[in-house]
Amino acid sequence: MHLDPDRFDLVNADAETLALNVQLERLSENLPNPIEVGIEPLREARRRGRGLFGPVERSPNAVDRTIPGPDGPLGIRVFTPDRVDGIYLHFHGGGWAMGAADYQDGRLESLADTAGVAVVSVDYRLAPEHPYPAAADDSETAARWIVENGAPAFGTDRIVLGGSSAGAHLAVTTMLRMRDRHGYSGFAGASLMYGFFDLSLTPSARNWGDRMLVMNTELCRWFAKAYAQEADLTDPDVSPLYADLHDLAPALFIVGTLDPLLDDTLLMATRWTAAGNATDLSVAAGAAHGFASAPTLVGAQARNRSARFVVEQIA
């Protein structure tokens, strides 16, 4: 793992990325603020295609089904390409409080087709209506189902898991729970984009301040509180940055330098390596939180790197 200090100099950010940041900052300021009005107006804006990164992408090729969950049926959304070499277990982002399994159909369908993986996206319960440990319990349940049923359902037991933001958090929490509760450390890899790994807030999140570029300090605190509520924010099951990270899968970490959660990725990637796990780190100069969802060159590079990682891990 090599970290180039030049990546943190904005002079090395490309013009398209900086232009996107201006647009994102304007849009962020105009979206409903959950701190002031609650989460539902922001959810509704996203459903209506007024999110930061464009309309919701839904594909007619996905198959919705349910599996037994800890609180009733748990929804999963599945893409199965003609050739399946592995399984990608996906956890969507949205601060544990918004989003859904069908909000990234375009990207997930493309991943299924190009990487040759069956993609299973988990519709976990959302906070604050369903606080911790609901989303983590649902994610663990989906992982157990994939481990037990992946081979007969898809013809392979090679499983990569991943997600972005809160989804990356749930991917790591799921790996830890599967290792510690079920004795399973067989995941082939983890693709983790700008994860929220310390809900007590890392220095970059604490020091970001009021600037609303997708996220800011108070919004980070709001999402963490909505999910964790009265739980100990340094409990490793809540903030996996504090966990013992031994015997975990090779991981790809992706983050931009203009992300309040920058330190979450830098610290987790370092601890991942120190625990003896294979680690790859990609830092995008000047990129904001969520940049891999943008129709930019840097966004496409992040998506392509994640897809290559998945292919490499299931090989």
- The H-assigned helical ranges of 116-261 are 134-154, 166-182, 203-208, 217-228
Determine whether 259 is an active site residue: yes
Residue with tokens 């069908």: 102
List the catalytic residue out of 102, 123, 137, 259. 259
Query: Is residue 128 reached through a cis peptide bond, with omega within 30 degrees of 0 on the bond before it?
Result: yes
Quote the CA–CA distance of 188 and 86 in Å, as a whole number.
9
Structure tokens at 234: 């340094």
CA dihedral 99, 237, 197, 150 (to 10 degrees): -60
Phi, psi for 163 (deg, rounded to 5): 170, -175
Determine whether 165 is an active site residue: yes
List the catalytic residue out of 165, 204, 239, 282. 165
List the catalytic residue out of 90, 92, 169, 289. 289
Phi, psi for 76 (deg, rounded to 5): -130, 150
Quote the CA–CA distance of 72 and 276 in Å, as a whole number.
38
CA Rg value for the chain: 18
Determine whether 247 is an active site residue: no
Give Cα separations from 8 to 110, 224, 283, 286 (angstroms). Answer: 31, 26, 9, 7
Residues with Cβ within 8 Å of 138's Cβ and at least 6 positions away in sequence, in order, are 69, 70, 71, 74, 122, 124, 125
Catalytic residues: 165, 259, 289
